Structure 1
């Protein structure tokens, strides 16, 4: 019985050559991300901004967004953000942070229930005060920074210096592109988004390590092969595994996007984008970076150092 192969055997795709396109595209995208971050900013969710989030479903018939928005604004808590989602019978209302602490936030929920309880069923209610939202911002930012630093330190000790630099650049590249997804789509950025970013960092690390392990192995096996050919060989030899991993992960996440519901849709969308970015990065960004570094020279120096240390050991007997 013949096994299914997503990628044909003996594939010889010129991945390194495509850096002429991948690098300008990634550079332009990164500049766009920086510009959007400075001008538009992230669409912070209630976890970070504070305030009150209410999700409701109509008890019968379709919802009337204009009427709901008018009633919500008339409650006197500032301009409410009202959005429809789902099958046309569900909506979310977001009220800004109120002065007066937790009691003021609870007052928003009480008045909203009085105004909408007769025609809408309350499905989800979240209130976050200013102190809690500030603590969440600090804890979330600290968690992301520490996790990224830990990954970068691991990469630095996992590979020789040129390979470590390439892996670090690839990981940072994937983080920047993922943040760009939030900025362009204005998808709500909340605690779930931080979990998605950390998961993408792990996926990016996995993809890069697989390719670079093969690169290191080929450097020791083919000591005279030109570096561009060797890098293409390292990606092509792991392409079947990369394609299988990316395809199965992509299909799983696509199912979550379609059938997972609104609670997990944001996370699944970010992860879906992250899988594409990490796969692209490992093949067209991280690996070609090694062209500009002394990969073979560093490897030979490490090998010579190992032989010297082995020869210096006293012989038994």
Structure 2
């Protein structure tokens, strides 16, 4: 096998490992110090609907609400550009709608109308959050079992390490920058797990194939060859996905902004982890050809006929 055109990915494995350790340390530190800024889906709060005569400027409304002391207000259109839905993370107040209306009316020439003022409970309670965490741990365990059965135990450790790496960094990003964590972001994290796992399995499949096929070459050389062969597919998939996510983040509006940001971070980190984290774990665990060679079929003894 000619290794001239093979990219030396594993030559940078120590630098990549150091970068991953730093990112994980920052993420865990941000989660420990800041915690996640849960949205109203997790905490509950109040909902106010305001009707405008003309299409409303959402940024102007946010600035007006911040000036009135409603810093945590989530503002979005509701059906049409003249219907505005405002979600506030505070206990219900029967007069809250009138207060919000007054704060907005002061900077408008048009007449505004209060259409709704009600309390919305948390869609995800504490018990469900705990069950969701346990469910995610169970999912990672089942993934580990599947990959161990499909490939080999060392591959399963690498795959789960890559998934945990991706999830922690996405969570740490939201904790570090104090971005709202709601149900759409939770959905994005689950999508990141699926995306990263798929990419890792594709790379693992090629690594196993080359360990069985290539008679010469060290484990690092075989790993570099496998990663180079899958690089084109990885980059095309990642870049096309990122283009869509950038468009969603810029033009998708407030409702899916957190979803798009979480996926943007997750896809970039997931692409990196499928190349370096999973492969790095395999090298660290001493992967070799003997681990991946198919078991030899035992020849059945046939008794001589009399």
Return the match for 1:233 from 204, 225, 247. Answer: 225
Q: Does 1:287 align with 2:274?
A: no
Residue 244 of structure 1, CA deviation: 1.1
CA distance in 2, matches of 1:132, 1:289: 35
CA distance in 2, matches of 1:146, 1:127: 34
CA distance in 1, matches of 2:248, 2:121: 31
Return the match for 1:112 from 96, 107, 129. Answer: 96
CA distance in 1, matches of 2:114, 2:263: 29
Q: Is the 8 A contact 1:52 1:95 kept in 2?
A: yes
Return the match for 1:52 from 40, 46, 55. Answer: 46
TM-score (structure 1 length as normaliser):
0.77
Q: What's 2:108 paired with? A: none
Secondary structure in 2 matching 1:81 = coil
Return the match for 1:203 from 163, 172, 195. Answer: 195
1:91-114 Cα shifts (integer Å, max 9, x gaps) = 855232x3xxxxxx3xx3x42333
Q: Give the helix-richer structure, 1 or 2.
A: 1
Q: Does 1:31 align with 2:64?
A: no
CA distance in 2, matches of 1:53, 1:315: 80
Secondary structure in 2 matching 1:52 = strand
- C-alpha spacing 1:249/1:315, structure 2 compared with 1 (3 Å): farther
- C-alpha spacing 1:49/1:83, structure 2 compared with 1 (3 Å): closer
Secondary structure in 2 matching 1:238 = helix
Q: What's 2:160 paired with? A: 168
1:247-290 Cα shifts (integer Å, max 9, x gaps) = 11111111211221111111011111111111111112211222
Return the match for 1:259 from 251, 257, 266. Answer: 251
Q: Is the 8 A contact 1:147 1:198 kept in 2?
A: no
Q: What's 2:141 paired with? A: 149
Secondary structure in 2 matching 1:223 = coil
Q: Is the 8 A contact 1:140 1:194 kept in 2?
A: no
5+ long unaligned stretches in structure 2 = 106-110
Residue 225 of structure 1, CA deviation: 0.9
| Count of aligned residue pairs for this structure pair | 286
Residue 80 of structure 1, CA deviation: 5.9
Q: Is the 8 A contact 1:192 1:267 kept in 2?
A: yes
5+ long unaligned stretches in structure 1 = 1-9, 74-78, 99-104
Q: What's 1:19 paired with? A: 13
CA distance in 1, matches of 2:116, 2:169: 31
Q: CA RMSD in A?
A: 3.3
Q: Is the 8 A contact 1:161 1:298 kept in 2?
A: no
CA distance in 2, matches of 1:227, 1:123: 67
- C-alpha spacing 1:236/1:53, structure 2 compared with 1 (3 Å): farther
